[in-house]
Amino acid sequence: MGQTFSILLSMGIVIAIGSSVALYLGKKKKGSDNWLVGGKSLPWYVVVGTQLATAQGGGLLVANVGIGYDSGLSEFLYGWLAAFGFIFILLMSMWLRKSHFTTLPDVMKNLYGDHKFIFILTTLLTMALTLGWLGSNMIAFGRLFSELTGIPLIILMLIFVGVCLIFVLPAGLTSVAWTDFLFGALMIPLAIIVAVYTVQIAGGWDEIINASPSTNIKFPEGLGSSGTEQILLWGLALLPAPIINQMYYQRIYAIEKPKHIRMTMVIIIVLIVLSHTWATIMGITINSMNPSLTNGENAMGWLMTQLPVWLVSVYGTLVLAMIISTASSCVQSTVVNIVEDIYHTHINTKASDQKIVKLSKLMSFVVLLLIVVLASFFSGALDWIISSSAYVGAALFFPLFLGFLLRKRTFLTYQGAAASMVTGLLGNFIPHLFFGVPYYPIYGLTISGITLVVVSLIFKNKKEKKAKEIDYA
């Protein structure tokens, strides 16, 4: 009971602080521009905080610490792969900000023209990714705090809905970004406290090294302890991930001064590497204390049984901050697609600013309740995020990045982009569901890239031939 009370108290304090900030911003920052793109007035340090908080959700505390537990320095390599994926966004960042986009479908429209099929499919894929992230974070939140407090899972998921709404409803991206910044600032000291205490109770770093398998911690051999095939798959999953995630784009659109964009992206890359360094240290340390766990993802759960109540509360606060910050961003991003890309673009092009804000708030409720229903039937949290990322990555990575690189040329065509998206999805779907291939993203990405180039060549040549015939006539 003492532990439950302590955890609930720390959660309550964090929620109270975050909700106070969100409500204050809701009174000061009104209008759809603040809801959709943060009024394009977010300070650079807020953008750094919200990008970090969005990128590092509850998975870092469970899955990534688990990789550190099972494979040591391979988690450090995982972090570098995750950070390297942001270089694609860094290269695109100035163009994205200067183009005044609102959503990811806007980017595709700019690259390939106003074609309904591409626009609608991109909208659906973008929403699938954010809904997948939202579902995985809701389930992770419910499972973890259900074990810690004994509160039923469904009640915790409803609490999760309420907290997300508190941060999203007042001012959309503006309130989400500022609360993310506060949570991001909170994560860093709390993570350091947990790491320092854990290393101390493990007997210090020398004792940890002596008790750890040399194959996991010896440099550089330990970097490959997960196996070449697994690391290759990480690369295929992590490198495309940032460029297909609308939430990262939105924060670039929202920054106040474009001259700060590249600096913020570099800082984010560094912080992502440091956060995975933390996960590596935690995983190796827990392994030295208890090497008998059958599943590395249970490492942090086991550690919780070894910590004093006050530190369990600190850890619980860290989990809450990381999960809620990612989840609230997912809600806001999904709602923007529904309201801006579907309603405002195709249903009511003359919708007033007030109408857009009201509908955005209503759809926030709808999205969260939908996820509660889905999470009640499909509880595999990791499957949510892996499946959504794999399918969306296969469909969108090459049309987006090659489209950006070749945007000043006439090489790529909308037919090539459309075919690339469809074959990318099929390239994942067929080996995944019909043949049970565990590494299906390889096929989807490969087929998508080849199709984009081949189909674009076919239709580009037809256009050139037709143009010559007209000139000759």
CATH of the domain at 216: 1.20.1730.10
Reduced 3-state DSSP string for 4-54: HHHHHHHHHHHHHHHHHHHHHHHHHCCCHHHHHHHHHCECHHHHHHHHHHH
Spatial contact of 75 and 300, defined as CB atoms under 8 Å apart: no
Asked whether the beta carbons of 451 and 423 are under 8 A apart, the reply is yes
Per-residue pLDDT of the chain (473 residues), as tens digits, is 666 777 778 888 888 888 899 989 888 888 888 888 888 889 999 999 888 888 877 678 777 898 999 999 999 999 999 899 899 999 999 999 888 888 999 999 999 999 999 999 999 999 988 888 888 788 777 777 776 677 888 888 888 899 899 999 998 999 999 998 988 888 888 889 999 999 999 999 999 999 998 889 988 889 999 888 788 878 877 888 889 999 999 999 999 999 999 999 999 999 999 999 999 999 999 999 999 988 887 888 788 878 888 888 887 777 788 788 888 999 999 999 999 999 998 899 999 989 999 999 999 999 999 888 877 776 554 455 567 778 898 999 999 999 999 998 888 999 999 999 999 999 988 987 787 776 778 899 999 999 999 999 998 766 555 444 444 33
Give the C-alpha separation, 248 to 246, whole Å.
5
- Side chain identity at residue 150, one-letter code: G
148 in the same domain as 43: yes
pLDDT number for residue 464: 53
Domain with 147 in it:
2-377
Do 363 and 402 fall into the same domain? no
Q: Which of 322, 230, 331 is nearest to 278 (CA)?
A: 322
CA 416 distance to own-chain centroid: 27
The pLDDT score that the predictor gives to residue 79 is 93
The pair of structure tokens assigned to 60 is 């870092």
242/228 Cα distance (integer angstroms): 23
Residues 272, 389 within the same domain:
no
DSSP H helices, 150-222, are 153-168, 173-201, 205-211, 214-217
Residues 420 and 456 reside in one and the same domain? yes
User: What pLDDT, on the 0 to 100 scale, is given for residue 417?
Assistant: 96
Please give the pLDDT value at position 469: 46
Residue 394 · residue 448 · CB < 8 Å: yes
Number of domains in the chain: 2
> Within this chain, do residues 388 and 273 fall inside the same structural domain, yes or no?
no
Asked if 420 and 366 sit in the same domain, the reply is no
pLDDT of 385: 58
Query: Is there a single domain that holds both residue 115 and residue 258?
Result: yes
pLDDT of residue 461: 66
Contact between residue 183 and residue 18 where contact means Cβ atoms under 8 Å apart? yes
pLDDT of residue 402: 94
The distance from CA 217 to its chain's CA centroid, rounded to whole angstroms, is 28
Long-range contacts, 256-263 (Cβ 8 Å, 24+): 256/40, 256/41, 256/42, 256/43, 256/44, 257/44, 258/94, 258/97, 258/98, 260/44, 260/47, 261/93, 261/94, 261/97, 262/90, 262/93, 262/94, 263/44
Domain identity same for 294 and 420: no
**370 and 292 in a common domain:** yes
**Predicted local confidence at residue 125, as pLDDT:** 92
For residues 375 and 139, the answer to whether their CB atoms sit within 8 Å is yes
Tell which of 354, 377, 400 closes a domain: 377
Of 377, 397, 432, the residue at which a domain comes to its end is 377
> What span, in angstroms and rounded, lies between the C-alpha atoms of 58 and 199?
21
Mark which of 377, 405, 428 sits at the end of a domain. 377
- In terms of domains, do 438 and 354 share one? no
In whole angstroms, give the CA distance from residue 251 to residue 333: 11
Q: 373 and 395 share a domain?
A: no
pLDDT at 471: 43
Same domain, 113 and 251: yes
Distance in angstroms (rounded) separating the CA atoms of residues 55 and 37? 18
